[in-house]
């Protein structure tokens, strides 16, 4: 009941906040309020997860990922390959959308969100939920997650930079002709509707793969193992919210 009320309130807040245009005091204020609410909730969640017995705790995952026997570099990277592919497609679409010439529709998510208020509200809600879900995935991590057996360590630790290298190589690609993307807003909307649908399907398939592929939660924990990666992801999430809703 409580979570239902909170969900309805969050959706209503995002719908109201979507009415402000970017680069205005109202837009910046509502974004800062949303950011502060997510940060405060995540801090409270972290403190609860670190408390002793008798307090409200989020149940930890049953076993770490990659599972035993699949922690080498090759199996680990194959397990996150579907997520890397999806992120590469999204970044490629964004790069080509930015390259659109003058007097042409920009099919980037930020441009479409400004053109369609329902999309703007939905995007703000997704951004809010990502901020909360990221912390939930982090606090559910088992103490032994990320550790490998001696045999796996001898074969070499999992290369956790693989996902970033694959994504970064595409995000630095520039100069592609804008004609590669259709200049049609409905096509852009269809693409951005299909992206979360694809993510849901990947997550469901991973949960039935017997540990061969990482679920969305496992992928988050996998790429945020180090403090540097964790900090980089938090900064990216914060900047994305600022770019989408304030500037």
Write down the pLDDT at residue 177.
Answer: 44
Q: What is the pLDDT along the chain (247 residues), one digit of tens a residue?
A: 656 787 888 888 888 888 887 778 888 888 899 999 999 988 888 887 766 544 455 666 666 667 766 656 677 888 899 999 999 999 988 888 776 655 566 788 888 887 788 888 888 888 998 998 888 888 876 555 544 433 443 344 444 444 333 333 333 334 444 445 667 788 888 898 899 999 999 999 999 988 889 999 889 888 888 889 989 999 999 998 888 787 7
- pLDDT digit string (tens) for 36-45? 999 998 888 8
Alpha-carbon gap, residue 94 to 137, rounded angstroms: 27
Here the tokens at position 62 are 């049953």
Write down the pLDDT at residue 83.
Answer: 95
- pLDDT digit string (tens) for 162-197? 433 333 333 333 444 444 566 778 888 889 889 999
Here the tokens at position 177 are 């002709």
Alpha-carbon gap, residue 8 to 5, rounded angstroms: 5
Alpha-carbon gap, residue 39 to 41, rounded angstroms: 5
Tokens 């990659």 belong to 66
SS3 state at 156: coil
Q: What separation in angstroms does the CA of 154 have from each of 131, 216, 222?
A: 36, 28, 20
Write down the pLDDT at residue 69.
Answer: 65
């Amino acid at each position: 009941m409580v979570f239902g009320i909170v969900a309805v309130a969050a959706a209503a807040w995002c719908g109201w906040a979507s009415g402000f245009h970017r680069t205005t005091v109202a837009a910046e204020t509502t974004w800062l309020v949303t950011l502060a609410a997510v940060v405060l909730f995540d801090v409270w969640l972290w403190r609860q997860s670190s408390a002793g017995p008798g307090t409200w705790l989020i149940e930890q995952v049953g076993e770490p990922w990659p599972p035993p026997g699949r922690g080498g570099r090759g199996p680990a990277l194959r397990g996150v390959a579907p997520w890397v592919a999806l992120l590469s497609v999204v970044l490629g679409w964004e790069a080509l959308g930015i390259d659109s010439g003058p007097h042409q529709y920009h099919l980037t998510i930020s441009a479409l969100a400004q053109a369609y208020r329902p999309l703007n509200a939905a995007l703000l809600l997704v951004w809010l939920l990502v901020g909360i879900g990221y912390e939930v995935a982090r606090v559910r991590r088992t103490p032994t997650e990320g550790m490998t057996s001696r045999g796996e360590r001898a074969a070499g630790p999992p290369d956790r930079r693989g996902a970033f290298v694959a994504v970064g190589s595409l995000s630095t690609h520039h100069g592609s002709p804008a004609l590669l993307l259709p200049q049609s807003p409905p096509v852009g909307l269809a693409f951005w509707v299909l992206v979360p649908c694809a993510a849901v399907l990947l997550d469901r398939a991973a949960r039935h793969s017997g540990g061969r592929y990482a679920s969305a939660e496992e992928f988050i924990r996998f790429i945020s193992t180090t403090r540097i990666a964790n900090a980089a992801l938090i900064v990216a999430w914060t900047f994305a919210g600022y770019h989408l809703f304030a500037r």
